[in-house]
Structure formats: C-alpha cells, structure tokens
Amino acid sequence: MNFHNVSSIPRPVRLSRETRTYAAISLNGVYGRAARRTPYVTLDDIENFEELSAQKRCDAAIMRICSTAPLRVTPYELVAGAATLGDGINHTIPARYKGEPVFLSVSHYTPDFPRALKYGIDAYDRELTERLKNPALTDSQREVLESMQNAVAAMRVYHKRYMDVLTADGSRVSREIAESLARVPFAPPETFREAVQALWFLFSWQRLCGNWPGLGRVDEMLGPYLKRDLETGRITMDFARELIASMLIHGCEWITLEPTVSGDAQHYQNIILAGIDADGREVANDVTRLVLEVLEELPISDYPVAIRVNRETPAWVLDLAARNIRHGGGVIAVYNETQIIESMVRFGYDVRDARRFANDGCWEIQVPGETCFYYRPFDAYELLQRDVFCLGEAESPDYADFESLYAAYIGRLSDFVDELQKEIDTKRRREWGALPTPVVSLLEYGSMESARNYYDLGPRFTVASPHIGGVADVINALHTVRTLVFDERRLEFREFMDILRGNWEGHEDLRAYVRSHVTMWGNDSDAVDALGTRLMGDYIEMVERVREREGVLRPAGASTFGRQIEWAKNRFAHAHGFPYGTYLASNLCPTPGTDVEGVSAVIRSHCKLGLQGLTCGTALDVKLGPNTLTEERGTAVIEGLVRAFCELGGIFMQFDVVDNRELLDAQKHPERYRSLSVRLAGWSARFVTLSKEWQDMVIARTTQQK
C-alpha cells in the first residue's frame, strides 16, 4: 500500500522499516477486517442469564470478553493490547445473547488515564475492597462497586492471557513487550516504555469492551517519564518515537476500508497536545514533538489531534502543527485555550479544572476523566422555516417590520430551548441511571467515590449540552428577508414566502439577485455580523436560564456534526438563494458558497459572534486549497491564521487542505485513493468510505484560496 499524499510536499522518513510496514498493514484494514470476522463473544451458555440484574448481565459480558476475545501479537508492534471484536466498531459491548447485543457501549468521554497511571489499578482494587466494607451502602451502590471490582478482575484475566502468549512466543520483541507489560497497568509505571504500555493497555481494554474513549492529554501524561529516561540514558529519542508510532498504529485497528455513512474512522480517540496544566505551566514537551513527527510521517487520520494554543505557545509546536496541516487529511485542529478557560470559569468551573480541559473524543469541551457527557443537537433553522415563516402551511403570517419577525423567532427558539431542558431531565430520570457501565465508571473519577454508575451522576460532573445548529442559515435567511422585504421593499413578506414554497420556480432572476447582491454571513460585514452576534447572545441567554438542574450542568454549544444532510429533508427552499434539498452550513461555519472574501473574513465573522458563552464549544471548519500553501510560506500562512483566530476570540478551528478535483476523481476511482482522508466534524475519515451524500457535502464546502 502506498501512502497517499494529498499534496506535493514530501513526508519525512524517521521511522524504521518495520514500523512503516506495520502502519501499511494496519492502514490497509487488515486488522479491522479480521475483527469483523470475530464480531462478538456469546453468552448463551450462562445459566439463568435473563434473570440476572442488568449490572450482573454486564459483568458476565465483560468477563467473557476478557476471557475469550482473540489476542493479537504481531512481529512489528512494540506495545501489547488489541480490540479484536468487531461489534465494538458498531458502538456496542461485543457480547451477544441469543444473537442480539446485550448493551450499547459508551462514547464521548475521555477516561481518567492520568490517575490510573499515577496510582495503578491495584490501588483501585484496594479502594473498592475498603468501600465495600461500608455498612451504609445501599444494595444498588454495593452492586455498582462490585461490578467495578469485577471489571478489575476481568482486566487481570485479559492481562494474564497476554503475558502467557508473549512469554510463550520466545522472540526478543515479545520478551521485551512482556517485560514492559509485567507490572502495568496494575502498578504505577517507572519508565517511559512502561508508561506507554500502561496507557495503551488501559485504552485498548476500554475499546475491547466496545467503548469509544478519547486518549486525552498524551504529552502531559507521558512527557515526565520520557524526560527522566532521556536524562538517565535509559532510552533514545529514536526508540521513543518508535514506541509512540507503535501505539498510534495500534489505534488504526478498526479500519476496514469498507463504505459506511460517515466514514470508517469515527471512534472518538482524539489526542490533545500542549497548553497549560492545572498550575498554569506549559505542557509542550518531547512527547508533543514525537506525536506530531509521527503523524507528519504516517498518514494516520484516526487520531484527530487538537493543539491547545495560547500567546506563549512555543513556536516549534505551531511549526510542527502547520507542517502536518499542509499534508491534508484534517488531522490537526486548534483550541484557543485562553478563551475556553475563561468561558469555563465564567460558567462556574474551578480554574484548576478549567485549565485541565480536554474534549469528549470529538471536540466538545469537558473536564477529562471526571465528566459524563451528553449533548442534544437541534436545527434552529428548521424552527425558523417551519414555525415562523410557516412554509409548511398554505399561508404565512404577516410581520409589520423586521423587529416583529425577529421577536417571533426568538420567542419560538426560547420555547424550544425550555422544552429541550425538560427533555434532558426526563431522559436522565428514565434512561441514564439504568445503564450499567463498569468499565467506564472504573476510570471516571467520582463514580467509585459516589458508588454510582457513569450515567447515574457518578462522575464529578454530568453535562447535558444544548447544541444549536443551522446558525449561519438562520442569519442569512433573516438578513435576506430584512434586505428584500423591509429595506429594499422589493416584495411583500407573504409574496416572498410563496416563492419559497414554489422552490424559486419562475423567479430565477430574484434568486440570482440574492446570490450576487445580498452579502451573507462570513464575509466580515458589520451589518450581517451584528445580526449574528445578536442571535447568538439571545440563544446563550436562553440556555443559561438553566445552568444546572438535578445535578446536571447545561453549558451551551453549537454544532451540526454533518446533520445538515439529514436535516435537509425537513427544510424548505431557502430565502438566501438555495433550492430545496441543498446541504447548508456545518457547525458554526458559513453557508457553503456564500463566503467569498477569503478565510480571514470568515474568521473575523465567526469570532464576532460572542463565543465566550459557548462553554461546551463550537467549531469553525476551514477548507484550504493546496495551492495556497505551497513551499515553506504555507506554514507561515497557517500559523498566522491560528494566531489571528485565537487573538479574535475563537474556540476551536479545524483545517482541511484538499483539492476538489482530487475528491471528484476519488468518487470515480476510489481504488486509487484508499488512504485519502478529509476532516468532517470532530473526526477525520477516509473519503472513499463516506456515503455519496457525505462526499458531496465535503466537496460543496467553500475552498478558500485567499
């Protein structure tokens, strides 16, 4: 397999031939397709299985998985542990009873790996034993703690199976892996190699049991171990790079290269690099460098990496990130940590917790290892078209002026947000508490202490975030109506709505006028941006009426995550010049094709929205043409965009560098582009594994050439 390169920029070669071979095998989907052939373990032989409590059924499933799942040891890897059951790829615990999955698994979380590395899993086992001695525990609490202890026992079984295979193999590589695995993750690691092995084993164990965790702040966790080993001469930088590469290649084990809807790499295993720690000290270190160097060399898109940026971010971090971005694939994104920390503190988080922020494995912001996360997306644009424009009815209401129209929309949006908050309460009471999650709960701080499951207010924080979608299209539709109906008085409001009901048929001249003469959001127009700022401020105020209720935090967010495809069928023709069925704006980005003033104008419009109230986050998607990033000047362009984004108050920006001609050719000849990756929402995916609708959405994004 040749590594596909979307640019003419050559990739460096630092890794060994064995590691590059391992990467080629994994990226070619060999291990993912093998997992599909062994999708699950069966629970049919467990006596009285149906009479067991949900928690006990889950315990049985986890023990059976760890006892019987296939193990994988290859001659190329340097760390042990593999998620070899294919049902995990489907977001279920890979154990079935009478042919049916027993439980869904968990995603949108980042486990508390730092604490597990610091203390070791033996310490967790001892603490569980002590807590179970408490006579005040309820039956439910006792069952939850016993379930976590069962998870530890299952991990021990899985660990012993690996040790037996590695020691029986007898090769030098297997012997060295066995030595690094022997103590961890049950005891705290003492060396860099043990730390990498412990982190990977815990991560792969979570995935073996079907979950989709994020990895979190890898450099903060592993950097101190590498520093000590380099100082004592225990390890070389070259071998440390090989270890990091082996870990990252392992995480490509669910690649199948088989077509899906949203691609074959959406497993939320994000990595966060750089930024400050809880004490305000810069984290960036040699592990930061190694991760970025490995990703520059190998076209691994399965670990979307977010760099935490502030004014003091070392220049070499931005340079390495920019070099990665130039290669395309959408792997590298950036967080403006100054804005995020200020927003979290404003919302009510302690500053030390805020400084530790990571994501949920996608890009939504949380305190890692201590947060149960849920978000509720909705299409704010559909509310405008359906309930204010009333396009699904025979006749629209009349509005005396634009302020009346805007007030009607804000009133409907406010009512909907209130309904959504009540829906969150109902969902938590009726559904969340009943879901057993011992594997996840074990590594979420607070669950053991409260003796409650992950979904039952176990971790320190439970977050349910309303996420508004379709923002750019709401702004553009309102602005277009304001321009044509109330400012220029070209036609009456009801007349305009009738044109939209007819999908613009017979009114191409007016549609062409809208597309060519009405300035849309994303072009640094103060008048249009002011409307967007007003709308976003009103939305945030609505959400913040209920910041916390019933133990659940409710920070605001804004996203689509590709839902504009499914939303299209519930929308009508669009006032801002698009016919029915068009895929419109993603996340908090301009409507495709309307941002004509370049990427700098997009950034300025985006950052004018007053984003400090979006504590859960939002994303700006930037698609750059490869010809804008030629030669070394390309890195300076990217670094400048990142610095400007942060100075102006953005939150999260993700890049794609891709040529639409190449994407169109990939649709015709997918066999030529098997490793071509594109950025979607909080993840990257191999383009040829996307559905036609998702491919078309990626192609339709505006490519910025200036």
Q: Tens digit of pLDDT for each residue in 477-491?
A: 999 999 999 999 999
Same domain flag for 475 and 608: yes
| Residue 705: per-residue pLDDT | 55
Q: Please indicate, yes or no, if residue 345 is contained in any of the structural domains.
A: no
Out of 564, 585, 618, a domain closes at: 618
| Residue 604: per-residue pLDDT | 98
Q: Are 689 and 259 in contact (CB under 8 A)?
A: yes
| Residue 56: per-residue pLDDT | 96
Q: Please indicate, yes or no, if residue 2 is contained in any of the structural domains.
A: no
Peptide bond into 12 cis (omega under 30): no
Q: Are 270 and 684 in contact (CB under 8 A)?
A: no
State which amino acid sits at residue 263.
G
Same domain flag for 661 and 626: yes
Same domain flag for 333 and 412: no
Q: Which residues contact 209 (CB under 8 A, 6 or more apart)?
A: 62, 65, 66, 88, 93, 94, 105, 439
Q: Quick one: tokens of 635?
A: 């890195």
Same domain flag for 496 and 527: yes
| Residue 157: per-residue pLDDT | 98
- Between CA 361 and CA 682 the distance in angstroms is 8
| Residue 706: per-residue pLDDT | 55
- Between CA 219 and CA 283 the distance in angstroms is 7
CA atoms within 13 A on the CB side of 628: 19
Q: Please indicate, yes or no, if residue 180 is contained in any of the structural domains.
A: yes
| Residue 326: per-residue pLDDT | 86
Domain total for the chain?
3
| Residue 635: per-residue pLDDT | 87
Q: Please indicate, yes or no, if residue 527 is contained in any of the structural domains.
A: yes
Same domain flag for 623 and 597: no
Instruction: Check the CA dihedral 324-326-328-330 and report its sign.
Output: positive
Q: Which residues contact 506 (CB under 8 A, 6 or more apart)?
A: none
Instruction: Check the CA dihedral 170-171-176-177 and report its sign.
Output: negative
Find where tokens 């064995």 sit: 18
Same domain flag for 587 and 627: no
Judging by beta carbons within 10 Å of its beta carbon (0-12, 13-18, 19+), is residue 581 exposed, middle or buried? exposed
Enclosing domain of residue 90: 29-213
Same domain flag for 565 and 600: yes
| Residue 435: per-residue pLDDT | 85
Judging by beta carbons within 10 Å of its beta carbon (0-12, 13-18, 19+), is residue 404 exposed, middle or buried? middle
Find where tokens 């295993």 sit: 269
Same domain flag for 466 and 600: yes
Q: Quick one: tokens of 113?
A: 């790996």
- Between CA 350 and CA 642 the distance in angstroms is 27
Q: Which segments of 454-492 does DSSP mark as H helices, in order?
A: 471-481
| Residue 630: per-residue pLDDT | 67
Q: Please indicate, yes or no, if residue 596 is contained in any of the structural domains.
A: yes
Q: Please indicate, yes or no, if residue 241 is contained in any of the structural domains.
A: no
Q: Quick one: tokens of 493?
A: 């409001």
Q: Please indicate, yes or no, if residue 230 is contained in any of the structural domains.
A: no
Low-confidence ranges of the chain (pLDDT < 70): 1-9, 433, 628-632, 702, 704-706
Find where tokens 């895929």 sit: 583
Find where tokens 């849309």 sit: 520
Strand 216-217 with 271-273, pairing: parallel
| Residue 8: per-residue pLDDT | 56
State which amino acid sits at residue 508.
E
Strand 557-558 with 461-469, pairing: parallel
Judging by beta carbons within 10 Å of its beta carbon (0-12, 13-18, 19+), is residue 31 exposed, middle or buried? buried
Same domain flag for 525 and 385: yes
Same domain flag for 552 and 429: yes
| Residue 4: per-residue pLDDT | 46
Same domain flag for 101 and 82: yes
Q: Please indicate, yes or no, if residue 69 is contained in any of the structural domains.
A: yes
Q: Quick one: tokens of 524?
A: 């640094």
Q: Are 576 and 477 in contact (CB under 8 A)?
A: yes
Out of 600, 618, 636, a domain closes at: 618
Same domain flag for 177 and 276: no
Out of 213, 236, 268, a domain closes at: 213
